[in-house]
Chains A and B, each alone.
Chain A
Amino acid sequence: MTEHFEPEIVAFCCHYCAYGAADLAGSMRLNYPANVKIVKLPCTGKVDIIYLLKAFEDGADGAYVAGCLEGNCHFIDGNIKAKRRVARAKKLLDEIGIGGERLEMFNMSASMGPRFAEVAREMTERVRGLGPSPLRK
């Protein structure tokens, strides 16, 4: 089953950077896995722990938050807040038994289309290696 496992991954992307990077990746005709479903946010500072938990509760095998490079947040420090919330959510996922490694925080700018594709591949590979979420077993 693992061999054919295609993970469902939710990417919470900031409007000012990662979402733009995704767009650029598309314009550049870069390939990245179709496993990644993007949720656009006005800033990763909008990410709440409950969003991350709900992604898993509703069946995601993995999730990540992609915000601006540190120091470049359009709202000063939304990405730093997101980083801390991701850290706490990872702990909760560990406690629950899902595993914190299924969640990650990334930073990129809007011009980093190739990096967006790379991150999408990296997370897809990581979660594929981990197998389906324990909730889907």
Chain B
Amino acid sequence: MIIAEQKPIQEIKAMIAGYQKVLIVGCDTCVTICMAGGRKEVGIIASCLRMALQIDRKKPQLIEDCIQRQCEWEFVDTLKDKVDGVDAILSSACGVGVQALAERFPNKPVYPALNTTFMGMPNEHGLWVENCRGCGNCGLGRFGGICPIARCSKGLLNGPCGGSQNGKCEVSKEMDCGWQLIYGRLKTLNQLDQLEDILLPKDWSTDRDKGQRKMFRGDVYYEQTV
């Protein structure tokens, strides 16, 4: 899932301070699970903003709402009537949701309430970790199901660097060395031999280096009639 965290209140306040009526829209999917921008967080953000703006002697009208998924048109479209009546939208979804609103409502300014941080999972309650970079060419099969692109701080493909110590990364003693995890797991699986081949430089053309990535599947595609 997508992990995100709330921006500082003052940063959000600065973005919406010039508007009289603002629709704050949450998303019931990923950012609800990571407790950053769901229904409940919309309430918290709105309350914080009302107070912060009141200190500045401003009394804007903040309308709270939340939709099932901000990254699907059918849910985004349900907002239409509410959007018509406001000056701006504050989205507490991931960057995908913010952009979906911006695309659907071309005449309304849309602002992000969150910083979208990474693709990952809650490893423990309240602890989220990144484990996929979405490089577009999955090599997990070679690395025992542990991604060196996402979990080695340097994204190395041929083994650990000299900065690995006590199973930790040179970047931080809190961070596991991805390569020690890979090595340990393949050792357990008795598959260390598959690490012996030199991996050639990665083909990054499937990453985002070619610009916005698009995927097309003819069997499920149909022309939008709207």
* Chain A bound to chain B: yes
Q: Does B14 contact A (CB under 8 A)?
A: no
How many of B's residues come within 8 Å of A, CB to CB?
Answer: 13
The answer on a CB contact under 8 Å between B47 and A54 is: yes
Give B56's nearest chain A residue, CB to CB: A97
B9 contact set on A, CB distance < 8 A = 92, 95-96
B10 contact set on A, CB distance < 8 A = 95
Q: Does B173 contact A (CB under 8 A)?
A: no
Q: Does A56 contact B (CB under 8 A)?
A: yes
- With contact pairs A95-B9, A95-B10, A96-B9 given, residues A135 and B44 touching in the complex (Cβ less than 8 Å): no
The answer on a CB contact under 8 Å between B47 and A50 is: yes
* Mask: chain A, 35-53; 1 = CB below 8 Å from B; 0 = not: 0000000000000111001
The answer on a CB contact under 8 Å between B51 and A98 is: yes
The answer on a CB contact under 8 Å between B44 and A50 is: yes
Distance between B41 CB and nearest chain A CB, rounded to angstroms:
9
The answer on a CB contact under 8 Å between A49 and B44 is: yes
* Mask: chain B, 21-57; 1 = CB below 8 Å from A; 0 = not: 0000000000000000000100110011011101100
* Distance, CA A22 to CA B50, complexed state (A): 33
The answer on a CB contact under 8 Å between A50 and B40 is: yes
Q: Does A26 contact B (CB under 8 A)?
A: no
